[in-house]
């Protein structure tokens, strides 16, 4: 149990009105401060590789998907947003997704999938906008998720830089 | 089986009573000590080839020696140390040696999630190998017949598969061929594997080297919900685990250890009976005869048609399927009594794959149980004869249409009022209504196998909506027909 | 009044109609503008911009809001008393709007050749009573709305609102009474003129300075009377969802809103009339009517701003604090103030000494209050014992 000791008010504070005026003066001053509003559709948020936007799947230069449908992102996703069904492929990686869906309405943009992915196949893009007329349209399938790896390269470099820093500091200690 | 001889040994400083007829590793596992094993399988002879189960053992005053636990017999007064530096270092080196040529590409591998090698590598926590030589490069997709694919790179040459083929179905087909780093598992002259027990190879393989063609790369094992159940493909009634993906598709059936029935094994007939539970063509609700043939309707409407026919026509023929549980059998017998008729069940033709090990020639999983509750077994011909002479006939239970024969049913004149309760719709001229019923992975109950052993069914996935269990249907039917008899005039 | 300043050309009836339409129309638009102002002020206080999409600087936002309200679905909850449920918003809005009829906005209006008489819809000789009666009526709408919704939240909101309004109406009227005593009239125009130096018998000092205590009490009580922050117990979202209008939607909800804002405007007009000399323009006795009107509007606008400013500054009171404040602080203060004023008037002393006397009489009380036993429910949050506990 915690005993909360109330603050003993001074005579001046108990008069109440002086405190009211103090409050009013604070809000009055606030009125003349610079405002922080961003006029969204015209004034977009600046994005760069640090932006953790919606997850996207990297597609190699030869148009093959990197994902091996290992299901680690599916397992890591705290929002249960990802659903994957695998299939066999003749490519070296043996397995690729047959179905890969991210329910963008469930996705909380946490980036766990990116962190879990052993193949650098799912990456947090800088795409932030999400609007449509039905819930179904916001369940993104493989085609909607594919992005050329070149578009995601800055992010890839960035997360490698991050994990390098993490690795080196852990080995030095 | 060797008899149990209880002796006392010391495991990591604790005195434990163990069974001396088993190898040391069994005692370790039973006492809850975690020692990895790859080549050791409790159902196979031990060879001690992988060396991963090494522990330190002290006898009397002699200094401790490192031995493989799977090949070491137990003797009174043994002191076993599983986690001393010495034992641990040996196992770790052993692991590193195994991983020298193992790709460790678990994200792709189908075994990931239930792989002993993966678990132990993870526990040891060394992510990178120290050797600079390339790994051996072998065939990653070597077909071993219709059932199994071998990934030679992943194989750790534990020889469990070889021993399984030798010892369990006693059809030696596999061997370790080649020498040294070029050793691989192969069949003679690359002939495909044969036999009804190949599926077990994927289970005994401790790594992802042997995989099922039918399951490969389709689902991650941690996404499968596993429910204990009983196989319904023959009267052996092997204990199994049904593995269902996303509450929907039955992806895999695996044997469940049951010392009295199937131990660790099951046959391929049972293992690949996945289509029996496919959701395609499943009947939800009911189909009832309308103007333009069979039309979809609710289960309630279908049931009312059945009740109407039962009310207006005497002496209905009640034919149960061989897959009824004893609980359903009892309910059917009670209903038959109320209707003043006899409850019978239709047996499918005997299986040709019968063998000494597990698979029997009787395809009824519950012949004993249904006979015990008072149902008489008849074959399809006898069943058709009974139907043809009746005004009303009820075909009850999953696979009943298939057992009696859809073509034969189509021949029946439509003076016979035919009603079915099956997972699929009955669409023959004589059919008046067809109701859906849960398949054996969607309901619970018990089957009694050929030896009198009771096997349980549990619900692995929900039945489609608007599908009632047979027992519920029997109860509703009995309620629907009762008032007509006692107060028939008042009701109309 | 009206009849002794009959315009030469326009019939009396026409003058009434014109004035009524113009003044009522202005009130409604002012209410609309106040809603916009409210959103703008709240935005500025929170470092935001506020509505700026509809029209230049968002000026057409009230219109957009109105359109939106009209198109919203009207719901009447199950088990509601339908007649009362429909009537309640009107009963709330109507009295607030009717008060505007007696507010003197300016002196005689002369446009070209036409003399339209004084700028108010009508000049009642007992307009203070009229206003007092009508402000008291507003609570019926709230009670009926809360009760007829068949919702516990609504009913509780309504009950709290009525208790609060009854408590603060006393203070409000006592504060007005001091002013009435000084002016010696129940006519709003007479009260306003009594503070103007131009008027006959006027002493040229606003009541704000003659009656500082009444002024402060009036301001506090008018917040409570209009159910505004920090006294908005009728709606109190964290406790009562929406309070008495939880179940209201569409235009019926808009009417409650309109009523609230009209009440604010009327209160601001009243405080201007009672304490700020009404349309008096300082140091310019012969100001033309439109300057007078501008002066009135400017004064009232300041109070409207005060309403908004206070709303976005102060947190809501606790209910027991509210009652304590009303009965234990404001009412005694008002009574003392009326007594002092009465004495000054009946002994025929100069009204200029009322503030001195009133403040002198109040000091001991204020000190006593501020020293009061913290174990008791008091204004400053000592209702709980010193060792309030949390686990
Ligand atoms: S960002 Fe997070 S929530 Fe979204 S899909 Fe990835 S893991 Fe799931
Ligand atoms: S973690 Fe990466 S490789 Fe694995 S399924 Fe997800 S996107 Fe594909
Ligand atoms: S066999 Fe096991 S350790 Fe090897 S890749 Fe497969 S899951 Fe990983
Ligand atoms: S498990 Fe003991 S040596 Fe392989």
What value of ipTM does the predicted structure carry? 0.77
Binning pLDDT at 50, 70 and 90, where does residue A101 land?
Answer: very high
Q: Is the pLDDT of residue B490 over 50?
A: no
Output the CA–CA distances (angstroms, integers) from residue C125 to B378, C132, C288, in the order listed: 109, 14, 24
> How far is the C-alpha of B13 from the C-alpha of B15, rounded, in Å?
7
Asked, for residue C14, whether it belongs to a domain, the answer is: no
Residue in B78, B38, B42, B86 with CA at minimum distance from that of residue B57: B78
User: Domain spans of chain A?
Assistant: 55-165
C214 within a domain of the structure (yes/no): yes
Do the beta carbons of residue B264 and residue B255 sit within 8 Å? yes
Distance CA(B418)–CA(C263), nearest Å, equals 79
pLDDT of A55: 94
CA dihedral B113, B119, B123, B124 (to 10 degrees): -130
The label of the residue with tokens 């909360």 reads A4
* pLDDT grade for A137, boundaries at 50, 70 and 90: very high
Note whether C313 contacts A23, CB cutoff 8 Å.
yes
Residue of B nearest to A92 (CA): B140
Q: Do C312 and A15 touch (CB under 8 A)?
A: no
pLDDT value of residue C9: 65
- The closest alpha carbon to B209, from B160, B258, B270, B261, belongs to B160
Question: How distant is the alpha carbon of residue B248 from its chain centre?
Answer: 17
Burial environment of residue B219 by CB neighbours within 10 A (0 to 12, 13 to 18, 19 or more): buried
For chain B, the structural domain boundaries read 6-97, 286-491
pLDDT at residue B206, rounded to an integer: 93
Name the strands in the sheet holding A82-88, side by side, starting at the edge strand that comes first in the sequence.
Answer: A82-88, A95-103, A139-140
Ligand 4 nearest atom to the CA of residue B54, by list position: 2
Domain of C187? Answer: 74-382
Atom of ligand 2 nearest to the CA of A68: 3
The pTM for the full model equals 0.70
Mutate to test the interface with C, among A34, A35, A38 (most CBs of C within 10 A): A35
3-state SS class at B246: coil
Residue C292 belongs to some domain of the structure: yes
CA A114 to ligand 1 centroid distance, Å: 8
- Total domain count, chain C: 1
Residue having the nearest C-alpha atom to atom 8 of ligand 2:
A67
Nearest to C94 by CA among C47, C134, C40, C49: C134
C330 assigned to some structural domain: yes
Instruction: Kindly state the tokens that stand for C127.
Output: 């307009």
Pairing state between β B343-347 and B376-379: parallel
At B421, the pLDDT band (50, 70, 90 cuts) reads very high
Nearest ligand 1 atom to the CA of A82 is: 5
Whether C387 maps to a domain, the answer reads no
Say whether the B–A interface has 3 or more Cβ pairs within 8 Å.
Answer: yes
The residue whose CA has the least distance to atom 7 of ligand 1 is A77
Structure token digits, residue C105:
């906005």
B37 lines ligand 4 (CB under 6 A): yes
Which whole-number Å values give the CA distances from A9 to A18, C296, C369, in the listed order? 13, 40, 13
Say which ligand is closest to the CA of B124: 3
Structural element, H or E, at residue B211: strand B210-212
**B127: distance to nearest CA of chain A, Å?**
13
Per-residue confidence of chain C (391 residues) as pLDDT tens digits?
445 555 556 677 888 888 889 888 988 889 888 989 998 888 888 888 888 888 888 888 888 888 888 888 888 888 888 888 888 888 888 888 888 888 888 877 777 777 777 778 788 888 889 988 888 888 888 888 888 888 888 888 888 888 888 888 889 899 999 888 888 888 888 888 877 765 555 567 788 778 888 888 899 888 888 877 788 776 766 777 777 777 888 888 888 888 888 889 999 999 998 888 888 777 777 778 888 888 889 989 999 999 889 888 888 887 787 888 888 888 888 888 888 888 888 887 777 777 777 777 777 777 776 666 443 444 444 444 444 444 3
CATH code assigned to B286-491: 3.40.50.740
Q: How confident is the model at residue A6 (pLDDT cuts 50, 70, 90)?
A: confident
The answer as to whether C141 is a domain residue is yes
Reading the block at residue B334, the tokens are 């009670």
Q: What is the CA(B145)–ligand 4 centre distance, in A?
A: 28
- Alpha-carbon Rg for chain C, nearest whole angstrom, is 22
Which region among B11-20, B177-186, B262-271, C234-243 has the lowest average model confidence (pLDDT)?
Answer: C234-243
Q: What is the distance between the alpha carbons of residues C108 and C293, in angstroms, rounded to a whole number? A: 10
Backbone angles phi, psi at C101, to 5 degrees: -60, -30
pLDDT category of residue B213 using cuts at 50, 70 and 90? very high
Q: Would you tell me how many other CB atoms lie within 10 Å of the CB of residue C341?
A: 24
C49 inside 8 A of chain A by CB: yes
C388 inside domain: no
Q: Do C310 and A28 touch (CB under 8 A)?
A: no
Architecture of domain B6-97: Roll (3.10)
Q: Which of C100, C91, C181 is nearest to C136 (CA)?
A: C91
Chains A and C touch, contact meaning at least 3 pairs of CB atoms under 8 angstroms apart = yes
Predicted local confidence at residue B453, as pLDDT: 92
Q: By CA distance, what is A35's nearest residue in C?
A: C47
A112 lines ligand 1 (CB under 6 A): yes
Q: Which contiguous run of DSSP H or E holds residue C274?
A: helix C250-275
Q: Are C230 and C316 in contact (CB under 8 A)?
A: yes
- β-partners of residue B417 are B392
Give the tens place of pLDDT for each residue, A20-30. 888 889 888 88
B22, B23, B36, B38, best to mutate for ligand 4 pocket (most atoms within 8 Å of CB):
B38
Q: Is B52 in the pocket of ligand 4 (CB under 6 A)?
A: yes
Give yes or no for a contact between C128 and C187, defined as CB atoms under 8 angstroms apart. yes
Q: Residue length, chain A? A: 173
Q: CA B311, B314, B320, B325 torsion: positive or negative?
A: positive
- Helix C12-45 vs helix C82-98: angle between axes, to the nearest 10 degrees? 100
Residue B205 · residue B161 · CB < 8 Å? yes
Quote the pLDDT of residue C372.
60
Is residue C48 included in any domain, yes or no?
no
* Interchain contact, C371 vs A11, CB within 8 Å: yes
In chain B, positions 199-218, which contact chain A (CB-CB < 8 Å)?
216-218
Task: Please indicate whether, in this complex, the C-beta atoms of C313 and A26 are within 8 angstroms of each other.
Answer: yes
pLDDT of residue B438: 92
CB atoms within 10 A of CB C377: 16
C370 interfaces chain A, CB cutoff of 8 Å: yes
Give the pLDDT score at B155.
Answer: 92
Of B484 and B161, more confident? B161
Residue by residue, DSSP assigns B83-135 as: SSHHHHHHHHHHHHHHHHS----TTT-TTTTS-HHHHHHHHHT--S-S--SPP
CB neighbours (10 Å) of residue B21?
15
Residue B340: its pLDDT value, please? Answer: 86
Alpha carbon of A53 to ligand 1 centroid (Å) = 10
For residue B345, what pLDDT band results from cuts at 50, 70 and 90? Answer: very high
Q: Is B418 in the pocket of ligand 4 (CB under 6 A)?
A: no
Strand partners, B376: B344
Q: Which of C272, C269, C290 is nearest to C31 (CA)?
A: C269
Q: Which CATH architecture has domain A55-165?
A: 2-Layer Sandwich (3.30)
> Which residue on chain B is closest to A120 by alpha carbon?
B107
Find out whether the beta carbon of B111 lies less than 6 Å from any atom of ligand 3: yes
**HSE of C215, CA atoms in CB hemisphere, 13 A:** 18
User: What average pLDDT does the segment B31-42 reach?
Assistant: 91
């Amino acid at each position: 149990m915690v005993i909360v000791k109330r603050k003993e008010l001074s005579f001046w504070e108990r008069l109440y009105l002086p405190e009211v005026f103090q409050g009013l003066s604070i809000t009055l001053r606030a009125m003349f401060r610079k405002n922080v509003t961003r006029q969204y559709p015209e004034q977009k948020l600046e994005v760069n590789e640090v932006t953790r936007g919606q997850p996207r799947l990297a597609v190699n230069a030869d148009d093959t998907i990197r994902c091996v449908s290992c299901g680690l992102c599916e397992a890591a996703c705290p929002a249960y947003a990802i659903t994957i069904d695998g299939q066999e492929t003749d490519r070296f990686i043996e397995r690729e997704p047959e179905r890969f869906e991210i329910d963008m309405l469930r996705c909380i943009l946490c980036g766990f999938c990116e962190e879990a992915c052993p193949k650098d196949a799912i990456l947090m893009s800088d795409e932030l906008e999400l609007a449509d007329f039905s819930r179904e349209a916001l369940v993104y399938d493989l085609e909607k998720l594919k992005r050329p790896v070149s578009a995601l390269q800055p992010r890839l470099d960035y997360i490698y830089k991050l994990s390098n820093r993490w690795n080196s500091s852990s080995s030095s200690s | 089986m060797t008899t149990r001889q209880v002796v006392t040994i010391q495991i990591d400083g604790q005195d434990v009573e163990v069974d001396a007829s088993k190898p040391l590793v069994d005692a370790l596992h039973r006492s809850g000590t975690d020692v990895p094993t790859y080549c050791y399988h409790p159902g196979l002879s031990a060879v001690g080839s992988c060396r991963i189960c090494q522990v330190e053992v002290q006898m009397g005053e002699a200094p401790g020696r490192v031995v493989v636990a799977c090949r070491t017999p137990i003797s009174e007064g043994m002191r076993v140390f599983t986690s001393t530096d010495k034992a641990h270092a040996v196992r770790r080196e052993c692991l590193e040696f195994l991983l020298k040529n193992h790709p460790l590409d678990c994200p792709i591998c189908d075994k990931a999630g239930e792989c002993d090698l993966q678990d132990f590598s993870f526990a040891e926590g060394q992510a990178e190998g120290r050797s600079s030589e390339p790994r051996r490069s072998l065939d990653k997709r070597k077909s071993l017949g219709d059932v199994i694919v071998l990934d030679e790179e992943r194989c750790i040459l534990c020889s469990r598969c070889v021993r399984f083929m030798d010892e369990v179905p006693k059809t030696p087909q596999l061997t370790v061929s080649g020498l040294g780093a070029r050793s691989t598992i192969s069949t003679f002259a690359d002939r495909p594997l044969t036999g009804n027990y190949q599926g077990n190879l994927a289970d005994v393989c401790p790594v992802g080297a042997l995989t099922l063609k039918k399951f490969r790369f389709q689902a991650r094992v941690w996404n499968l919900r596993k429910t204990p159940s009983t196989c319904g493909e023959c009267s052996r009634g092997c204990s199994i685990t049904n593995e269902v993906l996303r509450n929907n598709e039955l992806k895999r059936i695996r044997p469940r250890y049951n010392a009295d029935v199937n131990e660790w094994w099951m046959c391929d007939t049972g293992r690949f009976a996945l289509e029996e539970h496919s959701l395609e063509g499943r009947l939800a609700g009911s189909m009832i005869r309308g103007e333009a043939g069979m039309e979809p309707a609710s289960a309630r409407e279908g049931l009312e048609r059945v009740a109407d026919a039962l009310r207006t026509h005497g002496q209905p023929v009640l034919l149960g399927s061989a897959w009824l549980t004893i609980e359903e059998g009892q309910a059917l017998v009670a209903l038959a009594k109320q209707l003043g008729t006899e409850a019978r069940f239709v047996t499918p033709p005997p299986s040709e794959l019968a063998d000494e090990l597990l698979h029997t020639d009787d395809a009824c999983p519950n012949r004993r149980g249904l006979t015990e509750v008072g149902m008489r077994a008849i074959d399809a011909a006898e069943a058709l004869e009974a139907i043809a002479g009746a005004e009303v006939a009820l075909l009850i239970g999953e696979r009943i249409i298939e057992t009696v024969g859809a073509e034969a049913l189509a021949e029946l004149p439509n003076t016979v009022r035919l009603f079915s309760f099956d997972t699929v719709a009955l669409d023959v001229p004589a059919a008046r209504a067809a109701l859906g019923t849960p398949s054996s992975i969607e309901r619970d109950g018990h089957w009694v196998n050929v030896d009198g052993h009771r096997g349980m069914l549990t619900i692995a996935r929900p039945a489609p909506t608007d599908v009632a269990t047979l027992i519920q249907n029997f109860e509703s039917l009995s309620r629907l027909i009762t008032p007509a008899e006692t107060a028939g005039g008042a009701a109309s | 009044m009206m009849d002794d300043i009959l315009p030469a050309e326009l019939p009396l009836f026409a003058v009434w109609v014109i004035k009524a339409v113009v003044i009522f129309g202005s009130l409604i638009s002012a209410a609309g503008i106040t809603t916009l102002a409210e959103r703008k002020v709240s935005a500025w206080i929170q470092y935001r911009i506020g509505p700026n999409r509809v029209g230049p600087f968002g000026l057409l936002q009230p219109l957009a809001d109105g359109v939106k309200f009209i198109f919203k679905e009207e719901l009447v909850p199950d088990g509601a008393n339908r007649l009362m449920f429909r009537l309640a918003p009107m009963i709330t809005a109507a009295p607030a709007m009717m008060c505007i009829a007696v507010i003197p906005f300016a002196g005689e209006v002369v446009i070209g050749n036409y003399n339209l008489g004084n700028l108010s819809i009508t000049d009642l000789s007992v307009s203070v009573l009229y206003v007092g009666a009508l402000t008291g009526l507003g609570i019926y709408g709230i009670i009926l709305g809360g009760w007829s919704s068949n919702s516990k939240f609504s009913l509780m909101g309504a009950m709290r609102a009525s208790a609060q309004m009854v408590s603060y109406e006393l203070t409000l009227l006592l504060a007005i009474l001091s002013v009435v005593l000084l002016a010696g009239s129940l006519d709003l125009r007479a009260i306003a003129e009594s503070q103007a130096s131009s008027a006959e018998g006027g002493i040229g000092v606003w009541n704000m300075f003659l009656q500082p205590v009444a002024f402060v009490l009036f301001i506090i009580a008018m917040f409570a009377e209009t159910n505004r922050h920090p006294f908005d117990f009728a709606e109190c979202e964290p406790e009562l969802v929406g309070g008495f209008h939880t179940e209201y939607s569409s235009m019926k909800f808009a009417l409650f809103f309109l009523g609230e804002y009209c009440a604010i405007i009327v209160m601001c007009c009243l405080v201007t009339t009672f304490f700020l000399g009404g349309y008096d323009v300082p140091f310019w006795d012969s100001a033309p009517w439109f300057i007078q009107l501008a002066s009135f509007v400017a004064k009232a606008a300041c109070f409207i701003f005060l309403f908004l400013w206070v709303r976005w500054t102060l947190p809501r009171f606790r209910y027991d604090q509210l009652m304590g404040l009303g009965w234990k602080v404001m009412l005694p203060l008002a009574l003392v103030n009326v007594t002092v004023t009465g004495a000054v008037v009946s002994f025929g002393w100069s009204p200029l000494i009322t503030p001195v006397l009133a403040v002198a009489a109040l000091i001991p009380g204020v000190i006593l209050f501020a020293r009061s036993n913290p174990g008791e429910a008091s204004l400053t949050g000592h209702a709980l014992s010193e060792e309030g506990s949390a686990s």
